Structure 1
Amino acid sequence: MEDADAADALDVLAHEHRIAILRALAEADEPLSFSALHARVGMRDSGKFNYHLAKLCEYYVRETGEGYELGHAGERVVSAADPAPGSRSAHRGLATTDGGTPGDGRECPVCGEPDCEKLFHVHLTPPSSYSDGRQ
């Protein structure tokens, strides 16, 4: 990834409304419709909400037929920003380099400690750059 691309991806996170959207999606059990997500976040202006959601869809959120859900990078952002042990969003869908999940008792390949909760393979590549259509 180019330095400018990484900077752009991180710049998208520099707004409290966008972090609130990511957290609302992390707390959801299933994809959320636009209106359900808007209600959970509690922003008054739906136009501004739509603007912030669209920015997140460039890197962190994906839109499916059922609604909006966190993408791979979005899950990692939420986990890194709010890694409270035992919280539903802390480890949802995460994997370490050895295929385990954080907190499963395996030793960390970096420091050798069990349950160190380090995150690995954070990709900030926008989904649109994949040639195979994955997100």
Structure 2
Amino acid sequence: MADDATDALEVLGNEIRMATLRELAEADGPLSFTELRERVGVRDTGKFNYHLTKLCSYFVRETDGGYELGHAGSRVIAAGDVDAAATAGDGGSPPPDDACPVCGDDDCEKYFHVHLRPSWL
């Protein structure tokens, strides 16, 4: 399990991937590959596909409507949003209607428990 967590955190160590998470967080709904690539500002589709595929292993999910943040991706954005965390006064927890897909708890404060399990397992 420690290797899974390490692998997941290594995925976040790239500016294109972090920019992709931020763009998905700001979107009003799922974004198509092209919309997302253009918002992130990457011209090379192969390069962007490589980075998006890495994110889809842990933090992003593909839906019929395009790409959107997964639960772990939302937690990463919430953890990094210092202004929202200070305003909310709750450490950046997600809204109550965002139940944890692992434990089902509305108030799950674990940013990274088994959320980091690769999507193919």
**TM-score strictly above 0.5:** yes
User: Contact 2:57–2:119 (CA<8 Å) still a contact in 1?
Assistant: yes
Number of corresponding residues: 109
1:120 corresponds to 2:110: yes
Other-structure match for 1:108? none
> Residues 62-92 of structure 1: CA distance to partner in whole angstroms, max 9, x if unpaired?
10111000011010011111242269xx646
Other-structure match for 1:64? 63
1:52 corresponds to 2:42: no
User: Contact 1:75–1:94 (CA<8 Å) still a contact in 2?
Assistant: no
Any unmatched runs of 5+ in structure 1? 102-118, 130-135
User: Contact 1:63–1:69 (CA<8 Å) still a contact in 2?
Assistant: yes
For the residues of structure 2 that align with 1:98 and 1:25, how far apart are their CA atoms?
Answer: 24
State the Cα RMSD in Å: 2.4
For the residues of structure 2 that align with 1:52 and 1:43, how far apart are their CA atoms?
Answer: 11
Normalising to structure 2: TM-score of the pair? 0.78
Write 1 or 2 for the structure with the bigger share of helix. Answer: 2
Normalising to structure 1: TM-score of the pair? 0.70
1:22 corresponds to 2:21: yes
User: Contact 1:60–1:72 (CA<8 Å) still a contact in 2?
Assistant: yes
SS at match of 1:128: coil
For the residues of structure 2 that align with 1:83 and 1:125, how far apart are their CA atoms?
Answer: 26
User: C-alpha displacement at 1:120, in angstroms?
Assistant: 2.2
Any unmatched runs of 5+ in structure 2? none
User: C-alpha displacement at 1:95, in angstroms?
Assistant: 5.2
User: C-alpha displacement at 1:99, in angstroms?
Assistant: 2.3
Q: Which runs of 4+ in 1 moved over 3 A?
A: 90-98
User: Contact 1:12–1:55 (CA<8 Å) still a contact in 2?
Assistant: yes
